[in-house]
Structure 1
Amino acid sequence: MSMTRIGRARQAALGLSLAALTVGATGAMHPATAQSKAAPATGPGCSAEYRIEQKLSSGTTWRMCWRYESEAGLVLENVTYQPPGEAAPIRVLTSAKLAQIHVPYDDGSIEYDDLTGAGFGQGLMNMAPGECPGGSIKTVRMPDAGEGQDRNVKGLCTTTRSRGHAYRMQADTGNKVFQAQGKDLLVYAVNQVGWYEYITEWRFQDDGTVNMNVGATGSLAPSDYDAGDGRGWPIGKGAKDYATSHSHNVFWRLDFGLDGSSKDKIEQYDSVVSPPAQGGMAPRNKTTVTRVTKELAGDAKNMRWWRVVSGTGKNKDGHARSYEFVPGATSKYPGRSYTKHDIYFTEYKECEQFASNNLPNCGTRAGKSVDKWVNGQTLTHPVAWVNVGFHHIARDEDQQPMPVHWQGFSVAPRDVTAMNPLTPAELADQNGHVEQGGGGEG
């Protein structure tokens, strides 16, 4: 490791040592023990200390368990969503966590795997007063850092936040407006890696959408002010102090288990626009669906999307429940085989935990990165890996401290409920075709 990642003076305040990082790496060799010594969250029976439950003002309740791994950091498990009108919680995710933050520098001098090679998990930060407005900060018991005892870090915030309009609709008659302001449950932690600090945020909306984001902040590493022309940006006075450009390729690992079953199905949708038919007024758009039955390294294209479909659960209309991947802005990095694709679907293997520099030994599944695991195996228990890239070309405004730059994606419910889960009572009978006055667009 270079001074960029471990040479920061205030790193000592974390109480870390190279021995501590070794403890983390060793723990990851055995996934069952790669976590704090606290009791693992295995389902609804997880203790109150490791349970998150929040009923939002709209009536939606999110429930989940959490634990902390020595490399991946925060892990959320057995995530359920219960909107108004549903008698029981609906399982959305069995497990969700970061799977890597890969940081290659433009000059080719160095690259990092921040989770499995630079002490991400050991860098959990105590939150200062005011960092969790309106919420509570949970204490995380960190594994023994080589000093003979665990550390307690006030490092996990759970709070709620308004997001603006959940919907708005003018009534057909009269002046009535149907509108509601949306509310979210936020769960987040801050991990320091060298000069950078990563905010790992999970945002659970009252309409069932889940947003996953990583925000990079902290400081630009002073040891990187040596970029040559075309590989950096001057942030000092005049043409000097060229901060080296680099990428942040963030991976997430999602094991859905919709409705409590691992037998999810994967579908890919592609739409193609063609010229108007003879005598027609407008172009035509045809959408085709492809069942993804074997492991896949997927590439995003215009009008392409994927969804995970429940193998067991249906909504009240009899439609299979599913979650759709909604990509965020990304800059795909072509420098490594595992960063060349936007999404991967692999068959579940316990040892496959990190998208690159995977620590456990996966035996016959050759290779230590997710692209090597896509080998045509039939999907019976699919795991999704999502890759979102950001090319960081520094600017004057990045000092000091560096504003947060976010990257991430969402998964949105598709047919999880029979109607908008926030539908007002007056409109509850308007399911399917509804006779309405007027006309026009919409």
Structure 2
Amino acid sequence: MRTTAGAAALITLAALGLAASPAQAAPAVPACTNSTQVKETLPNGTTWQLCWRMQEQAGLVLEKVYVASKRYPQQVQVLDSIRMAQLNVPYDSGDTEYDDLTDFGFGGDDLETLTGDDCKGGSARVGSDGGSRPTRRKVLCVSAEPADLAYRLHDYDTRGNDKIYSKQGTDLVLRAISKVGWYEYVTEYRLRDNGTITARLGATGDLSPIDYVNADRGWPIGKGARDYAAMHYHNAFWRVDFNLDGRGKDKVEQYDTKTSGQGEMTAKLKTTRTAIAKEGTFTKKNQRFWRVLSGTGKNSDGHARSYELVTGANDTYEAHPETTPDVTFTQAHGCEKFATGNADPQCPAKKSILDYARDKETLTNPVMWVRVGFHHVPRDEDQSPMPLHWQGFDLMPRDFTATSPLTPDGRTGVNGKPRE
């Protein structure tokens, strides 16, 4: 486990009480500059508003991301920006490795023009491709797509009546496609009507016809055991810059749950938090999560607004130190743009997240770098075109609103322990 030296003492959840105070008015939503706006209201009444643009290396960038709902109609900021920060692709043979963003790029000439079924049922938006000689093309797909069941409750009231509350969820989906070599990558953000943001990268295209290897580092593709497609990794990084409530002063906390004795029926568990005060790299383990919380903004219950990092399937590539941490928190600096291969002349010594975190700066404007690994062991079904495979993570609201933004009218009075 990696932790920062500047972490505060552990505090139990029982000590997390906050004095109730009304939510503060959020700053006004700024207009987009040098980019294009998306503002869409989903069927359940949630409205997402944001700016988007294409950057030559990173591809799709979302900025100034705000959310509102029928229950909580004021637009409140979640993110300053979110984008891809690197795609490291080392091959198991040890003979080939690429940094797809900094070596090639997801924007400019490598950004695909949307056509065919790329944006079926959605709106293909025209914008600059972000290249050194920018062209305006259909490069962003915006669509509303059915999501999982948002909630389901069979409720019984005091008079013996019962009612079923059931609602289908909807996602606002923003999608761009980049072609790098034989692979085609789908950069996708799903903005859910419950406030969750899903960031994910899809890979499709073709297996590289030049990357066939010996049996111990490949998988037999085609007839018999003659051709072995090379196994390789996709180490994807995202750069997430929060700005909860649009006020800055965000903070970072880590939560860990451990066994602390035996109860009457089962083990007792104790959850503690650690304030992450300084830059550092961190590794996921069972019963651990991180959240970024506003230093000033609170919901109407008086609780600090925050978003929690939720990690899913993840296969760590351990051959590089910079691909080992699951998450890195650093102080925001404009020249720290990419997780690896950073070449901004404004900070020549800062080549990777390890360099960014090494200063152990105090976090007053934290940036979260998330790494999600995928070991691609090819299979016969990857021919051709290759079916999409996905890797990514969720940013889930935690106390961002006092109750769910999708709460139905019949349940609005439920907030806290029911009173007799």
Deviation, 1:140, is 2.5
- Which residue of structure 1 lines up, in the alignment, with residue 17 of structure 2? none
- Which residue of structure 1 lines up, in the alignment, with residue 315 of structure 2? 331
- Which residue of structure 1 lines up, in the alignment, with residue 211 of structure 2? 224
- Which residue of structure 1 lines up, in the alignment, with residue 351 of structure 2? 368
2:324 to 340, 360, 363: 340
Deviation, 1:141, is 1.8
Partners of 1:124 and 1:153 within 8 A in 2: no
More strand by share: 2
Give the SS at the match of 1:74: strand
Deviation, 1:154, is 1.1
CA distance in 1, matches of 2:405, 2:106: 37
- Which residue of structure 2 lines up, in the alignment, with residue 393 of structure 1? 377
Percentage identity across aligned positions?
47
CA distance in 2, matches of 1:421, 1:101: 34
1:141 to 120, 124, 128: 128
- Which residue of structure 1 lines up, in the alignment, with residue 185 of structure 2? 198
* CA gap 1:79/1:239 in 2 versus in 1, 3 angstroms: same
2:249 to 241, 247, 263: 263
Deviation, 1:414, is 0.3
CA distance in 2, matches of 1:260, 1:271: 31
Q: Deviations over 1:45-70 (max 9, x none)?
A: 22697000000111110000011111
The 5-angstrom pairing of residues 37-436 of structure 1 reads 44-46=30-32, 50-122=36-108, 123-143=110-130, 150-172=134-156, 173-225=160-212, 227-277=213-263, 280-363=264-347, 366-375=349-358, 376-434=360-418
Moved more, 133-142 or 334-343: 133-142
Moved more, 46-55 or 132-141: 46-55
Deviation, 1:276, is 1.3
Deviation, 1:128, is 1.5
Unaligned runs of 5+ in 2: 1-28
Deviation, 1:427, is 1.0
Partners of 2:88 and 2:99 within 8 A in 1: yes
Partners of 1:275 and 1:282 within 8 A in 2: no
Unaligned runs of 5+ in 1: 1-42, 437-442
Q: Deviations over 1:347-381 (max 9, x none)?
A: 111100000001203537x3401112112111111
Moved more, 75-84 or 132-141: 132-141
* CA gap 1:46/1:255 in 2 versus in 1, 3 angstroms: same
Q: Which amino acid aligns with 1:232?
A: G
Partners of 2:36 and 2:127 within 8 A in 1: no
Aligned residues: 388
Higher relative contact order (CA 8 A, sep 6+): 2
Q: Deviations over 1:259-290 (max 9, x none)?
A: 1122100000000024414xx22111100100
CA distance in 1, matches of 2:30, 2:122: 22
Q: Which amino acid aligns with 1:349?
A: H
* CA gap 1:143/1:291 in 2 versus in 1, 3 angstroms: closer
Q: Deviations over 1:93-131 (max 9, x none)?
A: 001100000000001101111001023323111111332
CA distance in 1, matches of 2:30, 2:142: 18
CA distance in 2, matches of 1:252, 1:150: 24
Partners of 1:140 and 1:155 within 8 A in 2: yes
* CA gap 1:143/1:421 in 2 versus in 1, 3 angstroms: closer
TM-score, with length taken from structure 1: 0.85
- Structure 1 stretches of at least 4 aligned residues deviating more than 6 Å after TM superposition: none
Deviation, 1:196, is 0.1
